[in-house]
Every structure is written in C-alpha cells, then in structure tokens.
Amino acid sequence: MNRIERKFSELRRQNKKAFITFLTAGYPNLNTTKRLVLEFAKVGVDIVEIGIPFSDPLADGPIIQEASQSALKRKINIDDILRLVRALRKTTEIPICLMSYYNPIFCYGQQSFIKKASTFGVDGVIIPDFPPEEAHSFIGLANKFNLDTIFFLSPTSPIERIRLVSRISKGFIYYVSLIGVTGPRQRLALDLVSNISLIKRNTPKPVCVGFGVSHPEHVKEICKIADGVIVGSAIIKKIKENIGKTDLVKRVGHFVYSLKR
C-alpha cells in the first residue's frame, strides 16, 4: 500500500472525499511549483498531480496548454521534475502523481522512468493517451515498484471498458466528466450522476472526477456522488492571474482552500 492507497483508506474511515489538485511543473518556475505543493499540503489537499509539460497535450485546453508551453520554454524536463519530487519528500508526505503523455516517457525509457519515479517518491502515474489495452508491460513494471497506474473513464465508456479499467487501475479511477478538453466550465455535465453510479456499481475502487471543475459548487455536488474531485485548469488560471505578485503562493493557496472548504 503506497501513499495514495493509504490516503483513500484514511478518507474512508473519516467518511471524507479526496480533494486532488493539478499543477503544471515549472509554471511559472520550479521553485514556485515546489512552494505551491507545500502550500496545498498545508491547506488540506489530499493528493497532488504534477503535470509533465508536453508540446502536444491532446486532452488539455488552452489554459494548461499555455502553462505547458511556458514550462517547455524554460526547458523543464522529466529529470527536473523527479528532482523536484525528491526535494519535496524531505518535507512532505502528500501523495504525488505525475501526469504525462506517453511520448516523454517513451523517449526517457519506460523502465528508467518507472524505477526513478518510484525511487524519488512518486506514488502514481496518469497517462491520458495510453490505452489500457497497450499498457500491460508498463503496469507490470509499475506494480513491481509500487507505483499506481491510474486510468480514465469517460461519458462514452461502454460497460466492457468500465470493467477493464476497474480491474487494472490502481490508486483510483479518473473519470473525465465531459466530452472535450480540460478547462473551466460553468455547469457540470447532466449525465454525471448516472455515469458515476454506473461505474461505482462495477468497481470497489475510488472514482474521482476531473475536467471542468472550477467552482466550490462543483466540488460540493461531485463529492455527493464520487470519491474525490480533481481541479486543474481553474488553479492554473489563478496562477496566471497572479504571476509577478510576491504573494502568488498565498493567493493561489487561498483559492484552493476555498474549494477544499
């Protein structure tokens, strides 16, 4: 059992839901990313996803695309991000997932990536463009190093895919709440309740909802039906609004706390 699984076990005992946040590594710089993770841990975030910037992020909307491009201009790479996690592990035990498209991992070397990620303190990996049908070797190696592999379900997932992802996903199942890319939305999808209910009837694993979550009301509604909520673009947008301000970390932390609360 790693930090992610322990966290969900703890939350179940307390009858609470997971609040998960996303940050693009190196936006606006790595030091700020580090300080934000520590601030999020302080305000009660349960799990942090750290995104590895990529030039062609198929699932991401304009806000996260812009953050990725900014980080890439700073030449942020996998080794930088792994060293960041290693540094964070000196002061925090907050569960950390890396979110990456498969191309950077493939170029880095699948085995090297998994081994180093585990050694440096990463708890899980989320790869949006990696179909579970093609991930057998990755899953096997990740299991060997106690690294959770988290897979996606969406509003269009048939029952066969729901059962497959339920079987192989570790840590939690990531439910994409809408058809489209990431980005703040004013309303939650109308079919959210029925789709989450269907998934939960077919899995004992935690189901967490992301994409489009941007208001406290969204968090409240999702936590009535799911095991956790994931907020990404709204946080990146708040970072962008505060770049150049000396209290950026405090301002973003306050926003995250308002969602968590």
**Which positions are catalytic?**
49, 60
CA dist., res. 117 & res. 241, Å (int):
31
For residue 2, the tally of other CB atoms under 10 A from its CB is 17
Q: Is the dihedral of CA 253, 256, 258, 260 positive or negative?
A: negative
Q: Percentages helix, strand, coil for the chain, rounded to the nearest 5?
A: 50, 15, 35
Amino acid found at 40 = F
* 3-state SS assignment for residue 49: strand
> Among 35, 115, 122, 124, which Cα is nearest to 86's?
122
- The first and second tokens of residue 118, run together, are 């585990």
For residue 149, the tally of other CB atoms under 10 A from its CB is 22
Beta strands of 25-79 (E only): which ranges? Answer: 47-51
Angle formed by the axes of helices 192-201 and 216-225, nearest 10°: 30
Amino acid found at 115 = K
Amino acid found at 243 = I
CA dist., res. 156 & res. 95, Å (int):
29
